Amino acid sequence: MSGMNDSFDAARVASILARVAKRRPRIHCLTNTVAQNVTANMLLAFGAVPSMASHPEEVAAVAAGAGAILVNLGTLSPEGERAIPKLLAIARERDIPLVLDPVFVELSPLRLRLAEEVLKQPGVIVRGNAAEMAALDAVMQSAGGVLRVTTGRIDRIEGGERVLSVAHGHEWMARVTGLGCASSALVAACRAVEPDAAIAAAAALTAYGIAGEIAAERAAGPGSFAMHLIDALAGLDEAALRARMGSAA
Ligand SMILES: Nc1ncnc2c1ncn2[C@@H]1O[C@H](COP(=O)(O)OP(=O)(O)OP(=O)(O)O)[C@@H](O)[C@H]1O
Ligand SMILES: Cc1ncsc1CCO
Ligand SMILES: [Mg+2]
């Protein structure tokens, strides 16, 4: 982590993880069919509770008590499209934090239109890869107040004047499908217990990245890496965070 002017260290990450473990926030995920399973498992390993309803007639009721809502635009069905405004309405009504994952928004005018719709809400966190974030750049600029979380070898978290970076993880994280989508859900889980959105995102990606480093040491390739990533995330403690973040953080 660099570029921080307030303290962001292993103790801070551990305190956010402890809040997730204690409060077990439910994270409502409208997400793609490819990533549903790994997203739900990663949330459980993290100590959060996934709910995945997508039917437009029930999605608001299910999401109403959630600690955060994730809207992921991958493999969207017409039903999923109809669920989005219901989720935005309940998020507004109940003041539930919103995270947008603009999967492949650069390929689809429909996804761009839906991303614009989501970005009309105040205080949205957007988590995407570099291509997705570049495609949404103008929309995010004009929306204002957006926290941008761009993942890759080094994750970049930008909100207002503040820029944070997280240099943890392993290249196998980009070799298993859905691990980016799952990272968005972990950002949502941390945001559910931490009002500072930038710190929440940095904590989630630091924990995930360090779990990735630990998993890579145990795995033989991308397949077993995915399994070890769930185990490493579930077993992450402050000592492991401290050992890998260093004291300067
Ligand atoms: N080369 C890398 N080295 C370290 N960590 C990486 C690397 N590439 C990706 N990651 C990590 O993997 C996670 C997923 O990020 P990525 O940018 O690959 O998402 P994505 O492209 O949206 O993935 P997907 O759409 O397949 O779910 C992030 O936590 C990121 O830090
Ligand atoms: C591969 C793929 N296609 C649509 S969603 C998804 C999962 C990773 O984003
Ligand atoms: Mg993605």
What is the position in ligand 2's atom list of the atom closest to the CA of 178?
Answer: 8
Angstrom CA distances, 249 to 138, 149, 167, 211, 233, stand at: 32, 19, 11, 17, 20
Confidence of residue 7 (pLDDT cuts 50, 70, 90): confident
Ligand nearest to the CA of 74: 2
**Residues at Cβ < 5 Å from ligand 3 ion:** 103, 180
For ligand 2, mutation pick of 32, 108, 181 (most atoms within 8 Å of CB): 32
- Domain boundaries in the chain? 10-243
> Residues 225-238: pLDDT tens digits?
999 999 999 999 99
Q: Which of 184, 163, 1, 6 is nearest to 97 (CA)?
A: 184
Confidence of residue 4 (pLDDT cuts 50, 70, 90): very low
Confidence of residue 248 (pLDDT cuts 50, 70, 90): very low
User: Which residue owns the Cα nearest ligand 2 atom 5?
Assistant: 74
Q: Which of 169, 247, 180 is nearest to 215 (CA)?
A: 169
Confidence of residue 160 (pLDDT cuts 50, 70, 90): confident
List, edge to edge, every strand of the sheet that includes 162-166: 49-51, 26-30, 68-72, 98-101, 125-129, 147-151, 155-159, 162-166
Section 147-152 average pLDDT: 98
Whole-angstrom distance, CA of residue 94 vs CA of residue 105: 27
**Which has the higher per-residue pLDDT, 26 or 4?**
26
> Residues 67-78: pLDDT tens digits?
999 999 999 999
Q: Is 80 in the pocket of ligand 2 (CB under 6 A)?
A: no
Ligand nearest to the CA of 173: 1
What pLDDT shows up at residue 246?
Answer: 78
* φ, ψ for residue 6, nearest 5 deg: -110, 165
Examine the pLDDT at 6 and tell me if it is beyond 80: no
ipTM value for the complex: 0.97
DSSP E strand boundaries for the chain: 26-30, 49-51, 68-72, 98-101, 125-129, 147-151, 155-159, 162-166
The binding-site residues of ligand 1, defined as CB within 6 angstroms of any ligand atom, are 103, 129, 151-153, 155, 169-171, 173-174, 177-181, 183, 205, 208-209
Whole-angstrom distance, CA of residue 78 vs CA of residue 227: 32
Query: For residue 184, with 0-12 CB atoms within 10 Å meaning exposed, 13-18 middle and 19 or more buried, which class applies?
Result: buried
User: Which residue owns the Cα nearest ligand 2 atom 4?
Assistant: 74
Q: What's the 173 CA to ligand 1 centre distance in angstroms?
A: 5
Q: Which of 163, 154, 125, 145 is nearest to 5 (CA)?
A: 163
Section 101-105 average pLDDT: 98
Whole-angstrom distance, CA of residue 110 vs CA of residue 76: 10
Section 61-70 average pLDDT: 98
Annotated binding site: 52, 127, 151, 178
Section 94-102 average pLDDT: 98
Architecture of domain 10-243: 3-Layer(aba) Sandwich (3.40)
